[in-house]
Structure 1
Amino acid sequence: MPVPEAYAVQVARDVNTLLAKVSGYLKPEDLPLLVSAFMFSAACHKDQARKSGEPYITHPLAVADILADHHLDAQAIAAAFLHDTMEDTGVSKLELIDKFGKPIAELVDGLSKLEKLEFQSKEQAQAENFRKMLMAMARDVRVILVKLADRLHNMRTLDAMREDKQKRIAAETLEIYAPIANRIGLHAIYQELEDWSFRYLHPMRYEVLHKALKAARGNRREVVGKILESIRHKLVDARIEATVYGREKHLASIYRKMQEKHLSFSEVLDIYGFRVIVQDVPTCYLVLGHLHALYKPRPGMFKDYIAIPKPNGYQSLHTALSGPYGTPIEVQIRTQDMHKVAQSGVASHWMYKSGDDGVSDVQQKTHQWLQSLLEIQSMSGDSVEFLEHIKVDLFPGEVYVFTPKGKILTLPQGSTAVDFAYAVHSDIGNRCIAARINYDLMPLRSVLKTGDQVEIVTAAHAKPNPNWLNFVVTGKARSHIRHFIKTMRYEEAVQLGERMLSQAVRALMNHAVEIPPEAWERYLRENAPSRRDEILADTGLGKRLGVVVAQRLLTLAGLLAEGEARPGPILIRGTEGVAVQFSRCCNPIPGDPIIGLIKQGQGLVIHTHDCPQVVGRHGRIDPDKLLEVEWDVPPGKLFDVQIKVLAIHERGVLAQIAAAISEAGANIENVRMDNDAEGDRYTEISFTVQVENRQHLARVMQTLRSLETVVRIHRLKTGH
């Protein structure tokens, strides 16, 4: 498609403007690279147009211009010109390496989608593309800087897209790209991405709020002016040099506050904030004192992000004051260097080469986060799971907690002691058994608050508990626990499969027989590509029946005796782990007659012999899916069982029943009460108690029946 003359003139003007902009901070020898990258991109995209009708080259040019505003280096700006060439024009990575060098080609490759691979769903394709981009970002942070500039320009020009695409792209931006911009400290880009997303996801609400904000500017101009003047006079009187200005909060932020606090727009009074920029850190605290003398501070609203910076390196003092007419005022106080980092985050590394501690600190924090991405990636089973872990860590809201040595760790809101343990080190997380929070022994699921001091107690032979997944919130903790469970499940499945295979062989041959290596080799060739451990794991997880595997191995070894015997029972000890599960539909305990049901992907599931889950329509058990099992439980092993007690509704009845259960030597794991059962005279209490076996349960129930307050008691089986 030939480029219209008007567009060609505009593009030429924009290129010259961009080159003039970068000349202010790049070396003269860098400019030919940018001209070459632009010319190559223009040639590649010459027959392409955007949805708006503009020549496609206007998009790479706009992305490069956004990066130039952040003083990105020549390689990043060249990559911005070229970022769509691999994906949209068929240019190969080798061709880019040949023309522009490996670093630029790697940046462009990190930004290109995996179009040629086949995925099972759009979600999987999206997740795999994010994983590729984030892994490239972990190697070179400029990948995400180019991507954010690309997304920002796309959001600015989203009007040309269909409404359904607008909403899909806006939702993706709000869910992934805006939080990433916030996480690496690109505050201005974060706010603009949020506002554009809000505009396209909720167009009516955006329009109403936009008009209301416009009207409020005039109404509140006098109040804002008065506050600004008061602050400036106060600081001049105190002989403090400072720049003071008001800033209007962005629409998405105002809308979020209205939602969270259930307010109307007229009730959101603090749509204006104020910022004070000073020369050094001591002056920040001096200004804070003078502002608190000028206007009353609002209790509990002060935050010191200078002493404890945010994870993205952001530093400021935040305080909230009651201004004239009770108007709430939010003020940020920071140094000039802090302001640079607050505006540009990790990009300040390129913008301000001053070598100050603030910039090096934000680089270090970003590097630590990028390394955590690599660690989570190595633990995640697939791209969808990886993206799920990453999303958790992207959303704002932090708590600041202390190690026993006084080191500060930043964790997401809602983090628990287990999240803290994994944040310290993955080995600490894997081996933690308890936590001391502010010197008190507390459960591992305890939610941490800012200021808590946390000490983790570990044990050499401890291992992660699958139940931790119900309460941990950080991506690192979730990925490590899931990885351990998968590994543990595999190892235990191998061990169970070996036992099941040995018992099947013994039953078929009437004595123990060792399968010769040659038989195993032939069997593995028949089931290629497989390893011995995989066959055993499949047997333990129910993907293969032990008796079938045993028969084939014995046949290949020439050892199968005439006639066929059923395998003997598998002994259930209650210590097998996740490869053997006790069904919740009937809650079997030692002493109950049991049967083993092979379930694909779950291993061996133990049921009571009369459980409806294993009994067919005509009362017969399907023999092909069942294995004979018997209890062989060591002393001291406890099993959960549910009982329901109907008791007279009177004061202290729960304490009386709980004491009786304890006297009978059982632990109470959970309790639930219903005071309205059978009228007001009775209360129904459901207990989950831990007992050794059926006889132990009988003693507990007998003890409870002897209580005068107990009317009725029975064991609860969910399936019945």
Structure 2
Amino acid sequence: MPKTATHQNAELFKPSSALASAPLLPADSEDSALSLRLKEYLKPQDIAQVWEAYRYAYQAHEGVVRKTGEPYITHPVSVACILADLHLDVPTLLAALLHDVVEDTDVSTHDIKEKFGLQVAELVDGVTKLDKIEFQSASVAQAENFRKMLLAMSQDVRVILVKLADRLHNMQTLEAMRPEKQKLIAKETLEIYAPIANRLGLNDIYQSLEDLSFQYLYPMRFRAISKAILAARGNRKEVVSKILESIKQQLITLNIDAEVSGREKHLYSIYKKMSGKTTAFSQIYDIYGFRVVVKDLSSCYLALGALHALYKPIPSKFKDYIAIPKANGYQSLHTTLFGPFGTPIEVQIRSTEMHNIADAGVAAHWLYKASDAQLTALQQQTHQWLQRLLEIQSESVDSLDFLEHLKIDLFPDEVYVFTPKGKIFALPKGATAVDFAYAVHSGIGNSCVAVRINQELAPLRTELHNGDHVEIITGSLAKPNPAWLNYVVTGRARAHIRHFLKSQQSTESAHLGERMLNQALRALHVEPSQITDDHWQKLIRDYGLKKKSQILTEIGLGKRQNVMVAHQLLAMLEVQEVPEEGAIGKFLGGKFFDKIFGKTVKPLDTITIRGSEGMAVQFAQCCRPIPGDPILGFINKDKGLVVHTHDCPAIRKFRLDPDKWLDVEWEPESQRLYKTNLNLTVANQPGMLAKIASGIADAGSNIDNVSVEEEDGSAYANLYFTVQVKDRIHLAELMRSLRKIPDVVRINRTKGNPAGNGAKKSSQ
């Protein structure tokens, strides 16, 4: 924590030794900061290995000076000090000392492997890969950096421990950087590194990274809150001392062996509370809290009862993180009490083992090597989290997409819900039933159709709350809905939905592109079977792509013209006749008038619209075509083929650009339903809406949307329906049926959205 955070010096709130400043050379002297830390838990032969790595790093960095003016070796030694305070193993300490050697000197990873072994070399290599593009301003570079970090973490979580210690020391010495660089690094730290430290349970590192980032991102706010805390500490010192002594005496009276200490909220935590609730500093009473550490689990609940007997608990301010631990393995009892003078008191109660895990997090695996079940569970949770991130990474379209999902996944606020079999799932606050379905399994998420929450059916978008029992109902033919992206909050769910939709669109677009290419080839008197794999491979190389399906997908999405691709394939065919001059000809009105290779070019065949092409073929919202309507197809970049009616006003300007449109026709026997709009003028009488809805249902149609024009005191009202019909014949039958209803004055089909504003143009 920075020196300006003066609240560390309070008598009741001692700072952690884990965050010491950089030691002075020589680090391998008997009384150096690193030496004293190593002697606490390492054997002499292990310490000897550390000094060997130190001397190796010292020689490699000799003569190099940091921007702070210190010898460069002070940085890796400081990183090693932070990790030694966590009592991490020897390979991690060696990697900490050597983590910049490969990046900044002539030493190679192979040299590290020969000197210190494969394990250390892999750790150094993992951290080195992360640093190669660090601190670049380009968002893509930053995103790719974190993608690489994830891959390194998945192999060995110690990579991220070294990286976090490295980032912490860089933040502690950030004053040497330019102001714009300070803000850039601080923002990156606050958004990514601090949440990762929190997710891994490294509490001291997490809070320090947040406070240091806060100091550089909002220096004036940082100073103002620091001064306010200093002033408040003096005003409240007597109250805090009295509460502390009361808690100690109460526990002694009931023969509960415990260590009681005061703790102070870190600066950024106070700032978040002030900004989140728009609260003044004077209104925040829980700046000070108290921690009770007892010997075992049962004593936690005994201590809780003792404190509730001493001070009255505040209802709804009790959380049992022992029965339901946080996702990072954190366990404690949290309670808020009415203290003396009406001051709220926050108290945390935990066992010694829980306290160790709360401080060291995932590092407790190396700090306390034991068969403790909770440590094993913590490692499993961390492994599962890393595996989830790997899954998100594989489902992400690109690095920026992955970074977005990673930030979502690092949200700290959580709700805990139960499966029908009683298994607990931790989800971010605001998570819905769809998020839960994907948390259980991607296959469950992709096929979910409904949910039971606490034995009652509920919409999939329902937000989950603590203690909910959730049962997902799946369907064999179900698939993700694009609308889910509007309300899911987990990175896992968002990544899976986007991946499915992207894959589906690519598959559908490839099928459409193949049909369009075959259409263009046949117009050139070439059967698609004449195009061999060799021709395709050459075309793939010419385009700089990897496979044939990519070309077909780009045709289907409108990114490449089928006619031009057909010409390029045709040029590769071995022909006897010499092409005539001007052989390419013009594509006008859907026809070729020139000759190519001595053959008259036929008009392009008509594309048949089946209605089952999914996202590759879209029906324009401006005219809502249905089978039976004369239609045209427009190629839209990224949207693919958009189908309009012939008389749609929105397409008039595109008729002069024939390269953009195709002749399309409906398949004779389409089995799906299509949306269209109806405008009804009816007598403004009770029950009219119900009569019309019943008439629509009797005609075998579905209502997709309905709206009513605002009443103006008239005897008549306008109703706007979006209905689903099979074709124009079905629509005509529906309209005849509705005309028979008494008090229906007028009915007509409208183009555009059913909002009473007539047809609306939509972009192509």
TM-score by length of 1: 0.90
CA contact (8 A) 2:622 2:751 kept: no
CA contact (8 A) 2:696 2:734 kept: yes
CA contact (8 A) 2:27 2:35 kept: no
Q: Distance in 2 between matches of 1:284 and 1:445?
A: 38
Once the two structures are superposed, the pairs formed by residues 559-574 of structure 1 within 5 Å of their partners are 562-574=599-611
Q: Deviations over 1:500-551 (max 9, x none)?
A: 3344455555xx9452354x53354244266443443333233333344455
CA contact (8 A) 1:611 1:719 kept: no
Q: Deviations over 1:619-673 (max 9, x none)?
A: 7342112111112275552233455678888887766665565555443334566
Residues 335, 655 of structure 1: alpha-carbon distance in 2 compared, 3 angstrom cutoff: farther
CA contact (8 A) 1:15 1:61 kept: no
Match of 1:492 in 2: 508
- TM-superposed deviation, 1:442: 2.4
SS of structure 2 residue aligned to 1:55? coil
CA contact (8 A) 1:644 1:715 kept: no
- TM-superposed deviation, 1:464: 2.6
Q: Deviations over 1:377-401 (max 9, x none)?
A: 2222322222211111112111111
SS of structure 2 residue aligned to 1:147? helix
What is the identity, as a one-letter code, of the residue corresponding to 1:105?
Answer: A
Moved more, 95-104 or 646-655: 646-655
Q: Distance in 1 between matches of 2:260 and 2:134?
A: 55
Match of 2:658 in 1: 623
Match of 1:593 in 2: 630
Q: Deviations over 1:264-294 (max 9, x none)?
A: 0011111111111112222222222232233
SS of structure 2 residue aligned to 1:246? strand
Q: Distance in 2 between matches of 1:381 and 1:610?
A: 38
What is the identity, as a one-letter code, of the residue corresponding to 2:534?
Answer: E
Q: Deviations over 1:407-430 (max 9, x none)?
A: 111111122222212211222222
Match of 2:208 among 185, 192, 201: 192
Match of 1:390 in 2: 406
Match of 2:10 in 1: none
- TM-superposed deviation, 1:590: 2.9
Moved more, 55-64 or 119-128: 119-128
Q: Distance in 1 between matches of 2:195 and 2:335?
A: 24
Once the two structures are superposed, the pairs formed by residues 413-424 of structure 1 within 5 Å of their partners are 413-424=429-440
CA contact (8 A) 2:611 2:670 kept: no
Moved more, 532-541 or 659-668: 659-668
CA contact (8 A) 1:670 1:689 kept: yes
Q: Distance in 2 between matches of 1:186 and 1:7?
A: 22
Match of 1:85 among 97, 101, 104: 101
Match of 2:530 among 501, 511, 516: 516
CA contact (8 A) 2:678 2:747 kept: no
Unaligned runs of 5+ in 2: 1-21, 577-596, 753-758
What is the identity, as a one-letter code, of the residue corresponding to 1:719?
Answer: K
Q: Distance in 1 between matches of 2:323 and 2:395?
A: 33
Match of 1:719 in 2: 761
Once the two structures are superposed, the pairs formed by residues 248-287 of structure 1 within 5 Å of their partners are 248-287=264-303
1:298 matches 2:311: no
Moved more, 656-665 or 346-355: 656-665
Q: Distance in 1 between matches of 2:660 and 2:478?
A: 34
- TM-superposed deviation, 1:10: 6.3
Q: Distance in 2 between matches of 1:115 and 1:329?
A: 44
CA contact (8 A) 1:572 1:633 kept: no
Q: Deviations over 1:106-127 (max 9, x none)?
A: 1122112478789997111111
Residues 302, 701 of structure 1: alpha-carbon distance in 2 compared, 3 angstrom cutoff: farther
Match of 1:544 in 2: 560
- TM-superposed deviation, 1:345: 0.3
Once the two structures are superposed, the pairs formed by residues 378-527 of structure 1 within 5 Å of their partners are 378-506=394-522, 509=525, 513=527, 515-516=529-530, 518=532, 521-527=534-540
Once the two structures are superposed, the pairs formed by residues 58-69 of structure 1 within 5 Å of their partners are 58-69=74-85
Cα RMSD (Å) of the superposition?
Answer: 3.2
Match of 1:363 in 2: 379
Once the two structures are superposed, the pairs formed by residues 197-236 of structure 1 within 5 Å of their partners are 197-236=213-252
Match of 1:691 among 704, 725, 732: 725
- TM-superposed deviation, 1:259: 1.4
CA contact (8 A) 2:447 2:477 kept: yes
Q: Deviations over 1:4-55 (max 9, x none)?
A: xx99756565983312321221122122321122122222222322222111
Match of 1:667 among 694, 702, 710: 702
- TM-superposed deviation, 1:687: 4.9
Q: Distance in 2 between matches of 1:109 and 1:157?
A: 24
SS of structure 2 residue aligned to 1:460? coil
Q: Distance in 2 between matches of 1:588 and 1:14?
A: 84
SS of structure 1 residue aligned to 2:652? coil
Q: Distance in 2 between matches of 1:707 and 1:296?
A: 69
- TM-superposed deviation, 1:249: 0.9
Q: Distance in 2 between matches of 1:701 and 1:258?
A: 60
Unaligned runs of 5+ in 1: 1-5
Match of 1:127 among 120, 129, 143: 143
Match of 2:621 among 584, 596, 603: 584
CA contact (8 A) 2:706 2:722 kept: yes
Q: Distance in 1 between matches of 2:340 and 2:498?
A: 54
CA contact (8 A) 2:23 2:32 kept: no
- TM-superposed deviation, 1:452: 1.4
Q: Distance in 1 between matches of 2:406 and 2:450?
A: 27
SS of structure 2 residue aligned to 1:614? helix
Q: Deviations over 1:361-383 (max 9, x none)?
A: 21111111112222222222322
SS of structure 2 residue aligned to 1:435? strand
What is the identity, as a one-letter code, of the residue corresponding to 1:44?
Answer: A
What is the number of equivalent residue pairs in this alignment? 709
- TM-superposed deviation, 1:139: 0.7
> What fraction of aligned residue pairs are identical, expressed as a percent?
56
Q: Distance in 1 between matches of 2:25 and 2:132?
A: 37
Match of 1:54 among 64, 70, 85: 70
SS of structure 2 residue aligned to 1:450? coil
SS of structure 2 residue aligned to 1:329? strand
SS of structure 1 residue aligned to 2:421? coil
Q: Distance in 1 between matches of 2:614 and 2:344?
A: 57
Q: Distance in 2 between matches of 1:299 and 1:252?
A: 27
Q: Distance in 1 between matches of 2:44 and 2:28?
A: 20
What is the identity, as a one-letter code, of the residue corresponding to 2:213?
Answer: S
What is the identity, as a one-letter code, of the residue corresponding to 2:726?
Answer: E
- TM-superposed deviation, 1:185: 0.3
Q: Distance in 2 between matches of 1:584 and 1:39?
A: 71
SS of structure 2 residue aligned to 1:51? coil
Residues 488, 120 of structure 1: alpha-carbon distance in 2 compared, 3 angstrom cutoff: farther
Residues 712, 80 of structure 1: alpha-carbon distance in 2 compared, 3 angstrom cutoff: same
CA contact (8 A) 2:24 2:74 kept: no
Residues 620, 373 of structure 1: alpha-carbon distance in 2 compared, 3 angstrom cutoff: closer
Q: Distance in 2 between matches of 1:641 and 1:456?
A: 33
Q: Distance in 1 between matches of 2:394 and 2:74?
A: 39
- TM-superposed deviation, 1:243: 1.8
Residues 292, 685 of structure 1: alpha-carbon distance in 2 compared, 3 angstrom cutoff: farther
Residues 562, 449 of structure 1: alpha-carbon distance in 2 compared, 3 angstrom cutoff: same
CA contact (8 A) 1:7 1:54 kept: no
Match of 1:108 among 124, 137, 160: 124
What is the identity, as a one-letter code, of the residue corresponding to 2:107?
Answer: V
Q: Distance in 2 between matches of 1:626 and 1:666?
A: 31
What is the identity, as a one-letter code, of the residue corresponding to 2:287?
Answer: I
TM-score by length of 2: 0.85
CA contact (8 A) 2:626 2:674 kept: yes
What is the identity, as a one-letter code, of the residue corresponding to 2:538?
Answer: R
